Amino acid sequence: RSCVLGHHHHQRRRGRRFGRCFLMATSVRLLCVCTGNTCRSPMLMVLLAKELRDRGLLMVSVDSAGLSPREGQPAAAEAIQAVAPRGLDLATHRAKKATNLGSYDRIYCMTTRHRAELERRGATPTKIHVVGGPGGVLDPYGSPLAVYENTASQLARAATTIARDLAAANNNNNNNNNNNNGVAQQTTAA
């Protein structure tokens, strides 16, 4: 069986084998990526983290990073302002470089160019997802606050979709595990 993330895995307990969803068994790591890690990816990170918490998906962690950041740079003031009305805070965010890409279960990026660069850096192609539809999410860097607010709204819609899909997959897996009528497959010891 595959879990929501496409992994094939099973857990053995006392000679019985039970299919299990990665979301329920261990922490799932998501990464949001943009260019500088001061605007889009940190906004998506906090928006997605809130959506996941609101849906009770507490075993999912969300981080953000940039492909070409000025490491240590704070989030853009406009990005901080754009998420504040949603009760979210980016004041302590500091830009960092996208590393250890293989340690993430899913990577959400903003453009097809980001996707290509992530693949070039060794990320598994099936783990990479461009948010915001076919055109992705344009970089608001250097734009007025209204543009950042529009970007935050676009990212909020993406966060809702991502969280809804993860929650639905998690619920489907729980239903599948509970609908086996109490019958577990026997495994034989080698």
pLDDT, tens digit, 9 for 90 and up, residues 117-167: 999 999 999 999 999 988 899 999 999 999 999 999 999 999 999 999 998
pLDDT, tens digit, 9 for 90 and up, residues 91-115: 999 999 999 999 999 999 999 999 9
Question: What is the reported pLDDT for 68?
Answer: 98
Instruction: Specify whether the backbone of 142 is left (phi greater than 0), alpha (psi in -120 to 50) or beta.
Output: left
State the amino acid at position 164 in one-letter form: R
Determine the 3-state secondary structure of 48 from DSSP: helix
Asked whether 15 and 186 are in contact (CB, 8 A), the reply is: yes
pLDDT, tens digit, 9 for 90 and up, residues 49-88: 999 999 999 899 999 999 999 999 999 999 999 999 999 9
95 closest CA partner among 38, 33, 32 = 38
Q: Tell me the average pLDDT across 22-50.
A: 88
pTM of the model: 0.81
Q: What is the DSSP letter of 31?
A: E
